[in-house]
């Protein structure tokens, strides 16, 4: 079943709630390799996003939701996360602009554009121990699920599962981007907080699709 604006709004609402719950954990992950404020920053940003969710017109489409989310995150989230995630939502919105409902192909296009936006902005690739280590497996898994004829909910579930595995896989590698890169081998054993938060928001996209 194609996913519309209600799904997009639910996705962002669920993401805000999950980030609020996971704020301390994300801060702890970040404290081990960075400034320790990743959860705090994202919680502030997605709390601001919540104020936007009640103000959409009845004719709003999913890309409208993602674009306004992008703008709010860019303006309210500190550090690198605001520009990176904001770019992800902005590029994802551009890939589905004006579509009232999203089928599997549109979802894959959205996820791919979001990932490519993060790559363009952050200049990172798989293996650098960044959020790209969650986003790229998610895109690849979504594309495989689409090719196999799976439903929209199944595509998003495959993406979320791959992102979770990708986030976990950042623990044994040496970071090559971001503040963690300054630690060298001391970063080994620590999960990248951006990869973890990316996995959380992708899981909520899947949860909203089956709600």
Q: Where are the domains of the chain?
A: 5-210
Contact (CB, 8 A) for 130 and 183: no
pLDDT at 122: 84
pLDDT at 188: 53
Residue whose token pair is 């620590």 = 190
Handedness of CA 195, 23, 53, 4 (dihedral sign): positive
The 10 Å Cβ neighbour count of residue 185 is 8
pLDDT at 137: 98
pLDDT at 32: 72
| HSE (side-chain half, CA atoms, 13 Å) at 60 | 20
Partners of 102 in beta bridges: 3
Q: Identify the segments of the chain with pLDDT beneath 50.
A: 180, 182-186
pLDDT at 36: 79
Share of the chain above pLDDT 70, in %: 91
Alpha carbon distance 175, 190 (integer Å): 10
User: Residue 148: CB partners within 8 Å, gap ≥ 6?
Assistant: none
Contact (CB, 8 A) for 40 and 31: no
Does domain 5-210 correspond to CATH entry 1.25.40.340?
yes
SS3 content of the chain, % helix, strand, coil (to 5): 75, 0, 25
Alpha carbon distance 191, 46 (integer Å): 22
pLDDT at 30: 85
Contact (CB, 8 A) for 108 and 95: no
Alpha carbon distance 27, 112 (integer Å): 28
pLDDT at 186: 44
Contact (CB, 8 A) for 29 and 190: yes
Q: Which two tokens stand for residue 182?
A: 């300054």
Alpha carbon distance 86, 168 (integer Å): 23
The pLDDT tens digits of the residues spanning 141-193 come to: 999 999 999 999 999 999 999 999 999 999 767 555 555 453 444 455 568 99
71: left (phi over 0), alpha (psi -120 to 50) or beta: alpha
């Amino acid at each position: 079943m194609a996913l519309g604006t209600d799904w997009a709004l639910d996705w962002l609402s669920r993401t805000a709630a999950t980030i609020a719950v996971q704020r301390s954990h994300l801060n702890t992950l970040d404290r081990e390799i960075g400034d320790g404020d990743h959860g705090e920053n994202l919680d502030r940003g997605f709390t601001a996003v919540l104020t936007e969710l009640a103000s959409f017109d009845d004719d709003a489409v999913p890309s409208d939701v993602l674009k306004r989310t992008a703008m709010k995150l860019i303006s309210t989230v500190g550090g690198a996360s605001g520009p990176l995630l904001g770019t992800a939502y902005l590029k994802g919105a551009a890939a589905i602009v004006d579509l009232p409902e999203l089928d599997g192909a549109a979802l894959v296009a959205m996820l791919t554009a979001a990932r490519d936006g993060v790559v363009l902005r952050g200049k990172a690739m798989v293996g650098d121990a960044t959020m790209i280590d969650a986003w790229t497996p998610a895109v690849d898994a979504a594309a495989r699920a689409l090719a196999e004829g799976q439903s929209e909910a199944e595509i998003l579930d495959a993406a979320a599962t791959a992102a979770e595995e990708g986030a976990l896989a950042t623990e044994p590698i040496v970071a090559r981007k971001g503040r963690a890169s300054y630690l060298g081998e001391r970063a080994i054993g620590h999960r990248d907080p951006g990869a973890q938060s990316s996995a959380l928001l992708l899981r909520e996209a899947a949860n909203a699709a089956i709600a």
